[in-house]
Each structure stands twice: as C-alpha cells, then as structure tokens.
Structure 1
Amino acid sequence: MKTALLLATTILMTLSTASTTAADATPPDAEKRPHVVKAPHGAERNDEYYWLRDDEREDKAMLAYLEAENAYADQVMAPLEPLENALYEEIVGRIKQDDSSIPARERGWWYYARYETGKDYPIHARRKDGPGVDALAIQQANERGDFAGEEVLLDVNALAEGKDYYAVGAYEVSQDNTMLAWADDTNGRRQYTFRFRDLATGKAYPEELRGTSGDLVFADDNRTVFYIENDPETLLTKRVKRHVIGTDPAQDVVVYEEADDSFYMGIDRTRDDRYIVIGVSSTVSDEIRYAPAADPQAFTVLAGRERDLEYQADHLDDRWVILTNADGAKNFKLVQAPSGSTSRKDWTDVVAHDENVLLETFELFDGFVALGERSEALERVRILRPGREDEYVAADEPAYSMGLSANTEPDTTKLRYTYTSLTTPATTYELDTATGERVLLKQQPVLGYDPSRYVTERVWATARDGERIPVSLVYRKGFERDGTAAMLQYAYGSYGMSMDPGFSVTTVSLLDRGMVYALAHIRGGQEMGRRWYDDGKLLNKINTFTDFIDVTDHLVAQGYAAKDRVAAAGGSAGGLLMGAVSNMAPDRYRVILSQVPFVDVVTTMLDASIPLTTNEYDEWGNPEQRQFYDYMLSYSPYDNLKAQAYPAMFVGTGLWDSQVQYWEPAKYVARLRDVDTGNGPVVFRTNMEAGHGGKSGRFRRFREQAEMYAFMLDQLGVK
C-alpha cells in the first residue's frame, strides 16, 4: 500500500499537470485506512477516513489532501472567475465603506465603531459626553470625516497587519473609564487572549491572559478583573479567575470551577452595576451566582440548578427580574424576587405564561421593562409600565425581524430597537416611551438599492405530519409564479435558534438575476415557541429534515420555483441539515451549499474531548446510550452516504474551526466521492487560516460568498 504522504504527493502532482479546464479536472482520491469506531455498548462502525483527523493540524498527508482539494476547487472554479468577480464587485459596491455604528452612551462616554474606505477592520472609538453631543451629532460628525475629540481605543486594522486571521472578540472599559481590556484571536479558534492598556497614560501592561472565552468584567476598584479560562483540550469554558492588572497571571486565583462539562459559562455585571454575575447554562438547565461588584469575595447562588429549570436574571431597583420556564412555563414567564432572595418561593409573576407567546429576552429601565417575545413566528417588543396597559411596537410588513438594540443605561425613557426584513435594511429606532415620539437613528446604508423593487411575503407549507411550517420569501417585483424560476432555500433548525427574516446585501444579487430566496422556519428553531424546538431535537430530529424537504415541495408545487432549479444552503448545524436532505431527497435539489457542516454526528458525539460534545447531549442525545446511538446513526450524513446521484455541492470549512472540526467535512467529501453516481461537481474548499466563521475582515467573507454563489448560479443555469 502506498504511504499516505506518497499518495497525497501523487494527488498534488496529478492536479498540477492536469488540464486547467473544469471539465478535465480530476478530483482527489483520498487513501482509505481501516479504522473501527467503537461505542461503549459494543456497536462498531468502519471509518476509512478517520485518519484525516489531526488535532494538531500538522500531519503532512492530511494537509496535502486538503491542499489537493483546494487545487481541484481552483480548477473547477476557474471558468467562473468572471462571474465570481462580478458578484463580489456588486456586493462590495452596495457597502458604504466609511460607515459607522450608532454611538451608545455609557458612564459619560459615547462608544462606537467606524470603518475607513478600503479597510477590512473597524476602529473602536469613543467621545466624551457634553453639550450638543449625542448619537445623531456624532454620526453626522463621522459622516463629515470630523473626528475631533475622538479617542481611538482599538484600531483593528493596525492590530491585524501582517496576520492571516485576526479578530477582536470583545473589549471592556473599567468603571472609572480609564482602563481598557480587549481580547483577540489570531487563528479563528475562538481562544482569546486578553491584554490591558491604561487609557489615561497610554501605558500597555505586559501580562497576557491566554486561553480565555473572551468574557471579562471589571470590579469596582478598576484594577481587578474576572475572566473565564477555557479547558486547553476540550476548549470548554471551565473556570472563573480573578486577576489584578499589573501582576503575574500565574498568581491568578480561581473563584469558581465548573465540574460538569455539559455546562457553558459566562460572566457579566447586572443592569444596575451592583453585582458581578457568573452564569452557567446547559441545554436544559441554568444557574446564576452573584457577588457585590464593590467587594466580590463570595458568590451567592440565586437559584440552584435543576434539570429542566432554565432562567436568566438581571437586577435593578432592589429586585431580581427573572425570565424562567419554572412551574411548567414552557414558553417562559417573567417573575421578580427581592434582592436578598435565594429561594424560588419568593418568585412572583410579572408576566404569566402564555402557550401562544414565547418570551425570549428583557431589558430593565427605571420606569419600565422592555420585553422581547415572539408569536406565530414573528418577533415583537412589548413595553411594560406600572399601572398602564402593555404596549407593542408596531411593524409594517408581513415578514420581519424586530428586537431590542443596545440600551446601555437604565435611567432613560428612551428605548432603542432594531427592525429589518428581507427587503428592509437593518434599521434602529429610538422610541420615547413617555411621549411616543420615535426617532430614526440609523438605517443600514445600501448603495444603489431601492426596496420598492422587491416584495416579501409569508407563506405556510404543510408538513407530512400536518404541521404548518412558516416560510419567509423575497423576490424582485414583477416575478411571476409560473414554475420556471431558480430558488435558494435556507434554514438552520437546531439549538432553538430562530432564523428571522433580515436584510442581506448578498441576496440582492440573486434577486436581481430573477431568483427567489426562501427562509424556512423549520422545527428545531423556536420560531413557533418552545414546542417547535422540542419537536426538532433528540428523538424528534428527523422533523427538521423532513420539514425542509416539505417546504421545498410546497414552494415548487405553488410555482415559486422549477423543480430542477432549487438550491439549498446551510452552515454548521445547518450543514447537518444539508447533508441529511441530500441523502434523503437528492432529486429535490440541483445544488447544495454547505458551510462548516456538522456531518459526522455519531463519531463526534462519542468523543468527549471534542469541543461542544458534552454540552450537547441534550440537543442530539448521548450515543453511549443505544437508543440515541441508533437514532443518530439513522440520519448522520456521513454514515448514510450511499450509491445514488447527489446534487452538485460546494462544501466549505476552516482548518482551525473549534466548533465543527475540519475533518468532518473532509471525511464526508472523501466518502461522497466514492459513492456519488451523479454528474454534478463536488467542490471542497478549506480555508487554511480560518475557523468557524470563515476569514476575518469584512471584505474577505464576501469573496467567499461570491465564490459559492458563482458555483450555485452556474449549476442553476442563472444568467
């Protein structure tokens, strides 16, 4: 048998000497090596491409195979370069390159981010509050290029210089506004390093806090910080440490360590800045600890963890306000408790449970509470005020997305919220809850875009078990539902994450070419309430996949698309969806776009050393139990590949992905090439410098999007 290195070298030589035309390109053929994956209950599976896994990302044969796939992708895509370039120029041409965010006021300063023309990364800055200084005035000054009085906190362009990948995860400023802490990631693996700088003197401190989650809070002394350290092997959030700026991190004290690997961890301050809060969450359970920010020595548990008890809490006006599913409130309810309470017996209802309304988030203000909720797959914002009837913020379109924006201070009557739809660019309003006056703070500038040329609608598709699946659609005005159009259908369908209809500058290029874009709100998300999520996870996961297929069938039957001109797209857990539907109904889709796909479900969930695995037993099931093993095996895309004609596929991943490891799509594509009897090309693109989110920088990701869309348009026959 050839050695792996010799085989990979042969592959590269073959690719380098092959014709540069797509028709003559020969895809790589990865070596098979026998390997048995065993489960604790005795089940065994053969995984001939298991060898492609290398946790260190150093194996020469593996790297050579990925490079060979990239070389093949280059050959297949070479004839489409003019289309890719056209798409890229269109997308970038819609972006106002010197744009800036809406300033948010906090402790006497206005914070914002702005971009400069031609640059990939933001500049994070602030301005001192004063007469005539407000969000609109600062935006207008930024528009004029007037940066007088601006203090630059982080120029990410300078920090990223010379790096293949760079991202600032978060930054925090101390309570006295003088100390800056920021976290960065240089390979996309989401393992952040914190650094510190004195904003008054410009002094940079020498220490670095490595291997963190990117979460950090300052105590009231402005020199003590609390941060979360990740496990170096599993990358899971593991312990909270206390650090004093200017000291050796080796001396940092552990203040809390989570023993259960099924829990994630976060750290924050309460709305009134009175407490520092440590929150731990699993799929079905939450627990919060808090300590006085002025003297954070001991942390008190607000409500002890119980299986199937979920809650989030914040503090203002000497009370805890808590969003919880306690007492059978499946769609959650809002309760409150006195400051010193540590017993659920003290919880009293503020907003009772409603089986038709899912409560998702809330924000506390001195005179009111803003509540983010959803009903019938649409979001809305409710305003609660003592002694007055509840009010709802109005919306004007049949399919839209609405939510709370950055409301950084509680002592105001003004509420910021965002509104968008498939035709309306992201818009932020400020509503004065005392007077009813609404001010438009900003709408995402989209150069050359006219929303009146496009139409959005909400339709309902009937699933095979009788459920009604909401679908958001957008197309260019003048579209005729005659069954000839090409369509891109997107969905996610996992973790209770709702995919709400929002504007995309990239989608416009598809609509202008006559395509329909469909967003399927399938089970596994929470668009229709908590039941929608429960019906699309664990032993109900198949519903996610059949919902997607049934939506496709409905839209084709209703004339929105030709049956042979449908594309499907999804990423991460949505990539699992793509793998499942292409196994179950390959004839429904002409082309599949799958980014960082979770496709090797059983092997990954059997390995507790892989990040996310233990956190997600309550999402997918624990395959160490035979019932879940068999069920997961029944839909795992890698395990269900078989001899049949598959759609054309574009599969993308990042070598440094910590969420879905690169070897899952690599193995999947290698096995797919063995069994696929179809004629459609399979392109596998690995970004060798990036992680789960793709390349860093605002323009680089559009280049990746343009390449995928060029592939799709070509396969669909869209001119």
Structure 2
Amino acid sequence: MNQSQRADRPTPPIAKQAPTETTMHGVRLVDDYAWLRDADWREAMMDPSRLDPEIRAYLEAENAYTEAMMADTTGLQAELVAEMRARMAEVDASVPTPDGDWVYYVRFREGGQHPIFCRAPRSADGSAEPGEPLTDEQILLDGDAEAEGRTYFSLGAVDHSPDHAKLAFALDERGSEAYTIRVRDIQGGQEIQPPIENATGNVAWSADSQTLFFTTLDDSHRPCRVWRLALGAPQTEATLVYEEPDAGFFVSIGETQSGDFLLIQAHDHATSETRFIPAATPEAAPTLIAERVTGCEYSVDDDNGTHFVILTNAGGARDFRLMRTPVNTPGYDNWQEIVPHEPGRLILDHVELARYRVRMERADALPRIIVTDKQTDTDHAIAFDDEAYSLGMSVGYEYDTQTLRFLYSAPHVPDETFDYDMAQRSRVLRKQRQVPSGFEPNDYIVRRITADTADGEAVPITLIHHRDTPTDASAPCLLHGYGAYGISEAAAFSASRFSLIDRGFVYAIAHVRGGKERGYRWYLDGKLDKKPNTFADYIRVAEYLCEAGFTAPGRIAAFGGSAGGMLVGAVVNQRPDLFGAAIADVPFVDVLNTMMDDTLPLTPPEWPEWGNPRDDEQAFATIRGYCPYQNIAAQDYPALLVIAGVSDPRVTYWEPAKWTAKLRATKTDTNPLLLKTHMAAGHGGLPGRFAALEEMGLIFAFLLDTLSPGHA
C-alpha cells in the first residue's frame, strides 16, 4: 500500500525547537534546530557511542518511524535485494595487473562482502577460470577475515612495496575516514609496523621499500601533514616532511608512474601546488615545482626521470594543456607547451610511460583516450561508437610497457576491460562483467538528448528505459543529478538500476552545470555566484522530459547524494510540483550555516566552490538565496527519503537531521518524510558489497511504493 494512503500511519517524531540567533551582514538568522549539532561532534564522529543522548534519541526515533512507515514494503525490499544480488557475480576477480615477476589482482568469494587482495607468478596469468584463484596464488589481505568482529570495516589504500616483500594497507573502523595504517610481511603474514593512527587512506613507499610516507589529520579532520617513517619504527619517531599552513588547503602524498618521484600536493578546489622528493633519497627535503597562484591548477608526472610533464590551466588554458619542464629547474619560467589548449576539449588526466604518453579528454560531453608515441610524436585516438558511454584508464604498475588497460561501459553495456597494444593499435577484451541472472542489452533504449535553457545553453541528458516502456508521459522517471566540484556524471552501467527500469521507470542523468561535461566553463558556470544555474538546469531537464513524453509532472523522483543532495533540496523548494518523490542521500543542505563555520572539517577548503559568506556579503546573499535549509516554505512537498550517517566527516549528520525536522514542522502536505541515519557509518553508507544493496532496496522500494505502486 502507498504510504500516504495508509489509515494507520504511525505518528512521526517532532523535534523540539530551541531557537539560536546569529546576525551576519545585518541579517538576523534564527535556527530552531541548531541543538541537533552535538557540542562534542568531533568525538561523536570518531566514536558514535559518545553522541549526546538527547540527539541520539531523536535520530533513533526517526529511524523507528522510517522502519514503521516502510514496514509494508519489507517483502518488496527483500525481493529487490535478491534480484540485485542475482545480477552480481558473487565469485569474481579483477583482471590481473603485472608488476615485475608477479601479477596482482582482487577477487571475491561466494557470499563474501569484502575484497581479497592476491598475487600470483606472472606466468600464471590466464591459468584459472574467471573469478577463481590463479595457480600458486598468495593471499595478501583477506577483507572478509579482517572485517570479522568489526562493526564497521572499510579499506583505503592497499599497496605492495617496490621489493614485493611488504604490504601496507589503511583501515577505517568507524566510517569517519580516519584510517589506521598497518604493514605486513607478505611471506610470513606478520605485522612489521606499529599501527599508524589518524591517517588518511593513502601511503607511499621509498624506492628501497624501507621508508613509508603518509598523511595525518588535524583536529578539524583536515589532511595537512606529510610524514616520513622508517619501516618498523613507532609513529612517535616519524619526521614531519611538510605541513600545510593554509586551513583552506588539503595535502596528499603520491608518486609518479615511473616510481622515481614522490609527490606532495597541496590543493583546494581551484588552486594547487606540488613538491617532489626523489624516491631513491627519501630523506631529501621536498622541492617545490611551482608556487601556488590562485586559480591555477596543475598535476605532475615524470618523463623518464629528466623532465616533468604538467597538466595545467596556467596561462588562460581554461580547458587545460600539457607542459614540459626539466626536473632540475621545474619553475614556471621553464614550462614549454607540448599539447596546446583547445577550447571545448577538456584534458582530464594524463599518464607518462617510457615510450608513450596517454591522456584522457572530454569533448561534446563524451570521453576519449589519446595515445602519443614519444618516438614519432604522433597521436591516435581510441574510438567508440555508442551514443553515451563511460571510459576510464587503469594504467597499472609498470612504466616501460606498450599495453594500456582501459574500462568501457554504457548504460546498457556491462563493464568491459580491455588491454590495448599502443604499438599495434589493437585491443583484447580481458573481461566482461557478468550478469548471472541474465541481461539482454537490446531490450533497452539509450539516448543522449539535450534540454535547451532560457540562457541559451543545451544541457546533456543521458536516458535509458526498457524498449516496452511507453513514452506517452505515463512512465515514472528517476532523475539523477550532481553538478558540483567539476565532477562529471558518467554514463556507465549499473546493474542495480534495472530493478526500476524493468518495472517501467525511465532512468535519466541530468548533466547540469557544475560538472565538466561541456568543458571547464561548464564547471565555472555552476559554482560560486553562478551556482543557481545548477538548479535551473535540473529543473529545465525535468520540464523537458515531461514535454518530450518521457514522464509527467509529479511522476519524477529527484535523486542526488552529498552536493547532489543539496541539488535535490534546492529544486524541491523551487519546483515541488514537478516531483512526486525525492531521495536525498547524505545531503549537503545546511550550506549557509556550514560555510559560515570555519571550525568544520570542510569549510575553508570549500569556500572556492561555494563562496565565503562570512567575509563576502554577496556570497552570503547568493547562498542564502538557494540554501535548502534556509528556504523551506509552507507548501506541499513530494514524498522524501533522507539518508545520513553519524560518522560522516563530509556532510555532518545534523544537516539532514535539521532539514528533516524543519521540513516536518513547515510543510503543508501529508506525504511521507523519512529520515534514515546510520548510527555507525559515514559518508559512504554501509560497507560491503551486499550490505550496500540493503540501502538500495530501501530506496527503490520507497520509489516504487510512491510512484508506481502497481509495479511494486
């Protein structure tokens, strides 16, 4: 039964109101639900059991209400989870990646939630059936065994050492993204490094495999320090290599593809700066490549140890270009252009190999790979024919190789892994994702269409539906959107979404401004003072889908997570009539209050994306004008399902909790408003490949019960 029609609907929890007043730029702000932010939120994020009892009671009451409201769909949820799981190959493995005498790969056992990291002799590649262990396999790290007995378990980096004798891995046991780094001897299996605490999820090795580099978090959960530690020494003996003084910048540690250089990058969302250390001399002080210039981004790889190749927007190259500079004199004055800027062709990434240079580009909202032969200085593209597709590079470990691995999929084409011979310009299919329950691509129609906006733009839309689904405005539609940080939404395959598509849903992705689908300008036109374009684009896409007969007003489900959840919150305020349901997953909905509070983990680094409303009155007015929490109105809203996590360091739990509480007190309809808070998980939700299906089952059951009860 549709939840809104239930005669025995449970009574929702009503959060108390305890007004807190602030004044900013002469504007008085009243927040009735500020009390939902725990005064000791840092401690609660790291240990959810320390959450204030009154706040915990409210969140648990909301969870109980959600469970009661969804009780009639438990059978449907189980059915959805079962069919999504049936589309997964439970026994599965990645294509082995060569490195010296070994190949490294990840596999899953039947019923296993977590990955098993393995290796085998290089000669064993191809010695087993898909998903099965290779001959003479060594298990390096068994995720299922490691997760046993832990309430929460998620792995960050898992990196073997250059001498292939040691394995470093990072473990998050709370969902807070504060990792513990451990190191094991591969042959014996024993831990050879005292645990390194409060780290980010990445590590780097020195060339001799005797020194570790890692990054730690400060009290505001900001990665700001890079350390060097002799293998086996306690963390207290680590040497501070670099500390970032600007609270608006994050730091990370990595390495070039050759392994010759370690890279320390400091960055926010608009500016970056890189230092390097020769991996063979880990005690050396880091050398600055080029000092930061506001608005200038650059990333670095090395060309056979003598030069750096730099991907940058310096010099007005809005869609980026490639430059080359000597390692010994790497500053701006010595940068020489090797791939010029071309407006409308966005260079996304590049990798240097001994004899080839590979770059990923996007043009006309579709990705492509360009290979350069360094000896002949000739380029060629790896081409694809589908109307909409996703493409990614998986470069591997080796530097002197002519094999490039890439991954291809489309909304109706399961993932394909190819090894591409760059010299012969030929590809070999190494793996195609299996759908054990059966899948026929020809049953589905995929289209790339555009919606014209009032200001003259054309917003790309990726759309998939079953061939039998009518396009007479009767179908329900799930409309996914994000539109922030320059992140482009991939037109990739997702097995789970067919549980909706096969029940008559149209699935659409709105490639709104704020991503980079149409180049870097697409990003610039959806940030800071132009952020409202993101919401206008999404609304226009929804309108166009109705005009074209794919769906109708009130038949659309808005769907977005994190910054995409902010998009959902904004559009249901502005045009609630278009939507019959909305899913806001860990939604960034209290933008104004968060951006005014520089003690929160992400606030200073986020100012280049959203603006600084503390110091900039215009930024304050812009954010206040669209912030979902600030703009809740006494009007009818669609049915809403909101998801949060107490351990979330990115979108703190109180944002969705406050938003839900204020919506419930203000809206004029009787449509369901449900809040599900994970009491021991963070931004990524439940860990484990099957546990994640439980949440998707809840979401899909909510949508089917709300928009398509006859097909549930």
Deviates more, 1:460-469 or 1:486-495: 460-469
Which residue number corresponds to residue 71 of structure 1? Answer: 64
Deviates more, 1:407-416 or 1:312-321: 407-416
Which residue number corresponds to residue 8 of structure 1? Answer: none
CA–CA distance in structure 2, aligned partners of residues 184 and 470 of structure 1: 39
Indicate the SS of the match to 1:308: coil
Which residue number corresponds to residue 339 of structure 1? Answer: 327
Deviates more, 1:236-245 or 1:387-396: 387-396
Which runs of structure 2 are paired with 1:369-448 in the superposition (5 Å)? 369-386=357-374, 387=376, 389-447=378-436, 448=438
Q: Which blocks of at least 5 consecutive residues in structure 1 are unaligned? A: 1-19
Q: Give yes or no for the alignment of 1:329 onto 2:313.
A: no
Q: Give yes or no for the alignment of 1:228 onto 2:215.
A: yes
Change over 3 Å in CA distance of 1:225–1:388 after alignment to 2:
closer
CA–CA distance in structure 1, aligned partners of residues 613 and 157 of structure 2: 35
Displacement, 1:479? 3.0
Which residue number corresponds to residue 282 of structure 1? Answer: 268
- CA deviation profile, 1:352-409 (whole Å, cap 9, x unmatched): 0000200010111222211100011111111112435421111121011112123321
The correspondence for 1:244, drawn from 230, 238, 241, is 230
Q: Give yes or no for the alignment of 1:312 onto 2:296.
A: no
Displacement, 1:244? 1.4
CA–CA distance in structure 1, aligned partners of residues 175 and 629 of structure 2: 25
Question: Which residue identity is paired with 2:21?
Answer: V
CA–CA distance in structure 2, aligned partners of residues 360 and 94 of structure 1: 32
Q: Give yes or no for the alignment of 1:35 onto 2:28.
A: no
The root-mean-square deviation of aligned C-alpha atoms, in Å, is 1.5
Which residue number corresponds to residue 489 of structure 1? Answer: 479
Q: Are 1:21 and 1:76, in contact at CA under 8 Å, matched by a contact in 2?
A: no
Which residue number corresponds to residue 114 of structure 1? Answer: 107
- CA deviation profile, 1:88-122 (whole Å, cap 9, x unmatched): 11100110101111111123221111111111111
Indicate the SS of the match to 1:590: strand
CA–CA distance in structure 2, aligned partners of residues 319 and 567 of structure 1: 51
Question: Which residue identity is paired with 1:24?
Answer: R
Q: Are 2:193 and 2:234, in contact at CA under 8 Å, matched by a contact in 1?
A: no
CA–CA distance in structure 2, aligned partners of residues 398 and 576 of structure 1: 29
- CA deviation profile, 1:338-362 (whole Å, cap 9, x unmatched): 2212221221111100002000101
Displacement, 1:564? 2.4
- CA deviation profile, 1:487-508 (whole Å, cap 9, x unmatched): 1000100000000100111111
Displacement, 1:147? 4.7
- CA deviation profile, 1:117-140 (whole Å, cap 9, x unmatched): 11111111111223xx33xx05x3
Which residue number corresponds to residue 6 of structure 1? Answer: none
Q: Give yes or no for the alignment of 1:464 onto 2:454.
A: yes
Task: State percent identity of aligned pairs.
Answer: 39
Q: Give yes or no for the alignment of 1:25 onto 2:10.
A: yes
Change over 3 Å in CA distance of 1:221–1:367 after alignment to 2:
closer
Displacement, 1:313? 0.7
The correspondence for 1:703, drawn from 687, 694, 702, is 694
Q: Are 1:22 and 1:78, in contact at CA under 8 Å, matched by a contact in 2?
A: no
Displacement, 1:525? 0.3
- CA deviation profile, 1:274-295 (whole Å, cap 9, x unmatched): 1111111111111111111111
Change over 3 Å in CA distance of 1:146–1:120 after alignment to 2:
closer
Question: Which residue identity is paired with 1:32?
Answer: Q
Indicate the SS of the match to 1:425: strand
- CA deviation profile, 1:467-513 (whole Å, cap 9, x unmatched): 11000000111333211111100010000000010011111111111
- CA deviation profile, 1:186-224 (whole Å, cap 9, x unmatched): 111100000111223333136111111112111123221
TM-score by length of 2: 0.95
Which residue number corresponds to residue 302 of structure 1? Answer: 289
Deviates more, 1:638-647 or 1:47-56: 47-56
Q: Are 1:405 and 1:428, in contact at CA under 8 Å, matched by a contact in 2?
A: no
Q: Are 1:22 and 1:77, in contact at CA under 8 Å, matched by a contact in 2?
A: no
CA–CA distance in structure 2, aligned partners of residues 473 and 305 of structure 1: 41
Which residue number corresponds to residue 151 of structure 2? Answer: 164
CA–CA distance in structure 1, aligned partners of residues 290 and 414 of structure 2: 41
Which residue number corresponds to residue 218 of structure 1? Answer: 205
Q: Are 2:585 and 2:642, in contact at CA under 8 Å, matched by a contact in 1?
A: yes
Q: Are 1:271 and 1:316, in contact at CA under 8 Å, matched by a contact in 2?
A: no
The correspondence for 1:368, drawn from 331, 348, 356, is 356
Displacement, 1:21? 6.9
Q: Are 1:22 and 1:75, in contact at CA under 8 Å, matched by a contact in 2?
A: no
Question: Which residue identity is paired with 1:163?
Answer: R
- CA deviation profile, 1:306-325 (whole Å, cap 9, x unmatched): 11111001012222111000
Change over 3 Å in CA distance of 1:206–1:338 after alignment to 2:
closer
Q: Are 2:258 and 2:353, in contact at CA under 8 Å, matched by a contact in 1?
A: no
- CA deviation profile, 1:317-338 (whole Å, cap 9, x unmatched): 2221110001110000011112
CA–CA distance in structure 2, aligned partners of residues 539 and 445 of structure 1: 45
Q: Between Structure 1 and Structure 2, how many residues are aligned?
A: 692
The correspondence for 1:357, drawn from 338, 345, 364, is 345
Q: Which blocks of at least 5 consecutive residues in structure 2 are unaligned? A: 45-50
Displacement, 1:141? 4.3
The correspondence for 2:532, drawn from 524, 531, 542, is 542
CA–CA distance in structure 2, aligned partners of residues 78 and 22 of structure 1: 14
The correspondence for 1:644, drawn from 635, 642, 662, is 635
CA–CA distance in structure 1, aligned partners of residues 632 and 36 of structure 2: 18
CA–CA distance in structure 2, aligned partners of residues 609 and 714 of structure 1: 41
- CA deviation profile, 1:226-262 (whole Å, cap 9, x unmatched): 110111x211111011111222211211111000111
TM-score by length of 1: 0.94
- CA deviation profile, 1:515-563 (whole Å, cap 9, x unmatched): 1100010000000000000000000000000100000000100001122
